[in-house]
Structure 1
Amino acid sequence: MKIYFCLLFILSIGHATIFAQQKLPKGFSYVQDIIPEINFDLRYYGSHNFVGKKIEGYDSPTLILSTAATQALEKVEKELNKKGMALKIFDAYRPQKAVDHFKKWATDVNDTLGKKEFYPKLDKRNLFKLGFIAGKSGHSRGSTVDLTIITIHDHQEIDMGSPFDFFGSISHFDSKDIDRVQKKNRTLLKNIMSKYGFKGYAKEWWHFTLINEPYQKTYFDFNVN
């Protein structure tokens, strides 16, 4: 697969850093170009994630998805906005090299920087078997997104019963360990995502894939920048 890049540069002005955008493969878009006000916390660009370090392939804090998935998300965002709510994205397109980084991390049982917050009750050696880590990810096909809902007036996440990327049964959509309000919130997210063409993943309440994704068998590896 050939990917043609425009001239890349980083320009620092005071405390601001400007990242030049690459030329994306056909059928991909920068989410912020289509949904300018989208809220996000790109966890793998920084160290607040289960690995505890910046993940390979995330070169700038920007969101990339297939154009089809982005356009569907725009519809979700507009409907939520009418209710005083909005989306908050944790991860979108994920290069294969990032998935490989996760795989390598999972085999190092002594690397437990994020254990206390993200997998306090699990042995790292079981993460593959339990379905939290895999050799391939739908994110690398460009139409899978991890997200939650926030309230617009204070930008606070609504209570989903467990945080993003928490490895444990409480993160399963139908967990018996969440209360009525948390179940209602998860159902709100699932229903509005389903309305606009996304399907969820039973083991992660935050994980959704566009049903009619354009690249069902292609796993991309261009960097996020």
Structure 2
Amino acid sequence: MKIRIFLFSLFFSACAFAQTKSIQKPVVISSYSQYRASVKANPDNELIEIKKSIPNITLDIRYATKNNFMQQVMYKQARAFARKPVVEALKKIQRALNKKGYGLKIFDGYRPYAITIAFYQKASDKNFVANPAKGSKHNRGCAIDLTIVNLKTNKDVAMATPYDSFLPAAAANYEPVSNEVRKNRQLLINTMKKFKMNVLENEWWHYDFSGWQGYELMDIPFEKL
């Protein structure tokens, strides 16, 4: 009996160890001085404020409000940042869309790592949030959540779901959708891809910058940037 209890305890101890190891925190830059040193070593590491670089872009920073899936304010400031090459790509995308009567609306950009942990703990569907064990491309300053607005009306164009929906229809290739939604979605996907921004399969609004692997995870709050 004692042997069985010992083996039983050993099994669960091993499971607990494996689980702890699987969610081990990755290397994250949380020191502002360390971040500045990385920018000095490579200017592309700088987190640029998107609105300052692209004044005619629209912001709707949902995580600075309670209008989000967390239903609570996550950001102290309604600002959006991204690495320098990402912002340069967004400039080109904005110009391309402006010529067609459209513009970008940003929901989220760089996201401090601590926020990713909070999302993962609360999200009912883990497929729609990043696992902190690996971190998010948002934490690297290389992912943007966005949509398109009509410049004449300043209203969002029609998409299959609202932003941050956990429904199957949020997928980038979901069918069936109306012709209008399909046209809008494809315009966004094609324009973004042209400038090295690739859509995430299960979120029509989420785009990752090609080359994100070269950037480190960050946990610097907006107030310090």
Alpha-carbon separation, structure 1, partners of 2:201 and 2:73: 27
- Residue 146 of structure 1 corresponds to 145
Alpha-carbon separation, structure 2, partners of 1:158 and 1:88: 10
- Tell me which amino acid in the other structure corresponds to 1:105: K
For the aligned residue pairs, the C-alpha RMSD in angstroms reads 2.0
- Tell me which amino acid in the other structure corresponds to 1:133: V
Residue 63 of structure 2 corresponds to residue 44 of structure 1 = yes
- Residue 136 of structure 2 corresponds to 137
Shift of 1:25: 6.3
DSSP-derived class of the 1:138 partner = coil
Contact 2:197–2:208 (CA under 8 A) maintained in structure 1 = yes
Shift of 1:103: 1.7
Alpha-carbon separation, structure 2, partners of 1:99 and 1:167: 16
Residue 101 of structure 2 corresponds to residue 89 of structure 1 = no
Structure (1/2) with the larger helix percentage: 2
Shift of 1:204: 0.4
- Tell me which amino acid in the other structure corresponds to 1:52: Q
Match of 1:220 among 213, 218, 225: 218
TM-score when normalising by structure 1: 0.77
- Residue 10 of structure 1 corresponds to none
Shift of 1:146: 0.4
Shift of 1:183: 1.0
Q: How does 1:111-126 map to 2 (within 5 A)?
A: 124=124
Shift of 1:212: 2.2
- Tell me which amino acid in the other structure corresponds to 2:128: F
- Tell me which amino acid in the other structure corresponds to 2:72: K
Shift of 1:214: 6.6
Distance 1:71 1:47, change over 3 A: same
Cα-to-partner distance string for 1:58-93 (whole Å, 9 max, x where unaligned):
221111100100010000001111111100000000
Alpha-carbon separation, structure 2, partners of 1:214 and 1:34: 24
Shift of 1:24: 10
- Residue 204 of structure 2 corresponds to 205
- Tell me which amino acid in the other structure corresponds to 2:118: H
Give the total of aligned pairs.
185
Q: How does 1:190-201 map to 2 (within 5 A)?
A: 190-201=189-200
Contact 2:137–2:212 (CA under 8 A) maintained in structure 1 = no
> Structure 1 residues 26-35 or 73-82, which shifts more?
26-35
Residue 177 of structure 2 corresponds to residue 160 of structure 1 = no
TM-score when normalising by structure 2: 0.77
- Tell me which amino acid in the other structure corresponds to 1:97: A
Residue 93 of structure 2 corresponds to residue 76 of structure 1 = yes
Structure 1: any 5+ residue segments left out of the alignment? 6-22, 107-123
DSSP-derived class of the 1:86 partner = strand
